[in-house]
Structure 1
Amino acid sequence: MKRFLLSVLVCLACFAVPAFAQGAFKVLVVAIPNRYHHDYAVVAKPQFERMAQVHGFDLTWSWNSTPFDGDLSPYAAVVLLNTPGDELKGAQRGTLEAYVRAGGGVMAVHRALIFNPPGEWPWFEKLIGRSFRVHPMVQTATVRVDDPSFPATFNLPSRWIWTDEWYEFHDPLMPGLRTVLSVDESTYDPTRIWPGQVARGMGKDHPVAWYHAYDGGRVFVTALGHTPALYDDPAYLAHLYGGLWWTATGRGIDDRH
């Protein structure tokens, strides 16, 4: 009988503990579906949950912007997963600014890099570091590792075949951006775009992932991640977690390179 009661108590205790509790750090992922990026989220969510289990951090997932109505200070990093800054309204923007100024980390993924209308929230555009210009149709290309010392590249080959939207950007808005990955424009057609639009590429230097220090916080940006199928790719998930780990902790940069 005593053994039975002990088993019951152990089971109840297990049910009382929230998922991913007592992790090394806490992460908020904001994944707001939008016109061009909605079906990715049901694939990405279980992958981030598994990432949290494997790497031992606490995960909060949100389908909307309500977390920015509260306190972000418990989070070591906020991930804007295909969620641009224009999704935040009014005081929510001030909440994110205060979080970063207090040392918080932000990881911006793919659609989060596009802010509409441009110029409405300059602080956020500087957080990203570059403003979006245009992108051609999805194509396969070769990605180059420009900074092998950064954790988002540790599990990637020096040249990586990848299929995505190759965002083009205007000149940097901030000094000190460190390019992590770039795309080789000779391996795809930068002009292949829809009728009525024009894309011309960026030339030899075409960054697709970078990081920098901004307004007291850490920021990692990756333009990769357009199609849902990419969230089943171990290399892409390793790229995301490497960037997230640095964003949350500031650790992992290999100074030997």
Structure 2
Amino acid sequence: MEKYGFCGSIDDTCYNDWYDRTSGEEEAGKILIYYEVAAGVGPHDNREAGVAVLEAMFEDAGYEVEATEDPAFMESGFSLRPFDTIVFFNTGRDALTSLGLMSLRIYMEGGGGFVGIHNAFGTNFNNTWFEGLLGAQLYDHAPRQTATVVPQSSDPSVAHLDGVEFGPEEFYNVHPDPRWLEDIRILLTVDEATMTDGTSGYYGHPGMGEGHPVSWCHYYDGGRAWLTTLGHSVEILVDPNWQEHIMAGVEGTMGNAPFCTE
């Protein structure tokens, strides 16, 4: 299906396996964590700690990991090519330059992996291709609170989360609604009935109603993309349910685990 003028699907119709990114036969894979926040925007309180937690998680799983907040690093397709997936963790606003967006697009077109965590949805608002990659962008959110999530799939990234509570969390109201797009698979929702501090956001969004999407996935413009809005607090970083959620999503985009399953 054409979405934003680019191929999108919930199967590998839109996947391009054009090159092997691993640089050695014995490597399990290589992961890049990107966490740049543009000047003038306050970073999330958990950003530095979150990068450290993710690095440890991925290394413990046997992966080689690099982390950067340098936009210049992202501006070369050759810099990105060795990585099996790229994780955007609480990036903010114009974290990618125009060259960085071009390089990421080339990387994805060749079959790259992309993981967007929490404020990745508050990044590069004015780029249509990047919005398509995310499947939605942050509009606003209700007060931080604890609420119950509901899996909508047997995907390994969410199958363990039935009835699990996360919080304090910002349950994003996003736009456009990814449920409108048949080439996106919704993996996880939040039960708004358990959001006891309300669902209305600071810009007036009333909440997303029944089936409020929290995590989803798709093949997009040649690559695999897995997205989650969960990841605001320091507390969530040490939650084993969140860690398993992230790890399975990352490995799916690398091709090392089932990806975007029903």
User: Would the TM-score normalized by the shorter structure come out above 0.5?
Assistant: yes
1:114 to 114, 122, 134: 122
1:205 maps to which residue? Answer: 211
1:151 maps to which residue? Answer: 156
Whole-angstrom CA distance in 2 between matches of 1:247 and 1:218: 5
8 A contact 1:191–1:198 mirrored in 2: no
1:26 maps to which residue? Answer: 30
Give how far 1:190 is off: 3.4
Query: Structure 1 length normalisation: TM-score?
Result: 0.82
Whole-angstrom CA distance in 2 between matches of 1:254 and 1:123: 20
Structure 2 counterpart SS, 1:252: coil
Unaligned stretches of 5+ in structure 1? 1-20
* Corresponding position: 1:125 with 2:158: no
1:240 maps to which residue? Answer: 246
Whole-angstrom CA distance in 1 between matches of 2:66 and 2:246: 16
Change (3 A) 1:205 1:91: same
8 A contact 1:181–1:208 mirrored in 2: yes
* Corresponding position: 1:226 with 2:259: no
* Corresponding position: 1:76 with 2:84: yes
8 A contact 2:133–2:225 mirrored in 1: yes
Give how far 1:254 is off: 9.1
If each structure's helix is expressed as a fraction of its own residues, which one has the higher value?
Answer: 1
Unaligned stretches of 5+ in structure 2? 1-24
Q: Which amino acid aligns with 1:182?
A: T
| 1:155-190 C-alpha deviation (Å, 9 max, x unpaired) | x23111111101012233743111111000111143
8 A contact 2:173–2:201 mirrored in 1: no
8 A contact 2:185–2:260 mirrored in 1: no
Query: Structure 2 length normalisation: TM-score?
Result: 0.80
Structure-to-structure mapping, 1:19-98, within 5 angstroms: 23-33=27-37, 35-70=41-76, 71=78, 72-84=80-92, 86-98=94-106
Q: Which amino acid aligns with 2:186?
A: T
| 1:117-152 C-alpha deviation (Å, 9 max, x unpaired) | x4x21000000012322111101111001112x121
Structure 2 counterpart SS, 1:159: coil
% identical aligned pairs: 30
1:160 to 138, 158, 164: 164
2:191 to 170, 184, 196: 184
8 A contact 1:33–1:41 mirrored in 2: no
Q: Which amino acid aligns with 2:94?
A: D
8 A contact 1:85–1:124 mirrored in 2: no
Tell me the matched-pair count: 230
| 1:186-241 C-alpha deviation (Å, 9 max, x unpaired) | 111434555xx423111112110000000000000000011122111111111111
Change (3 A) 1:192 1:93: closer
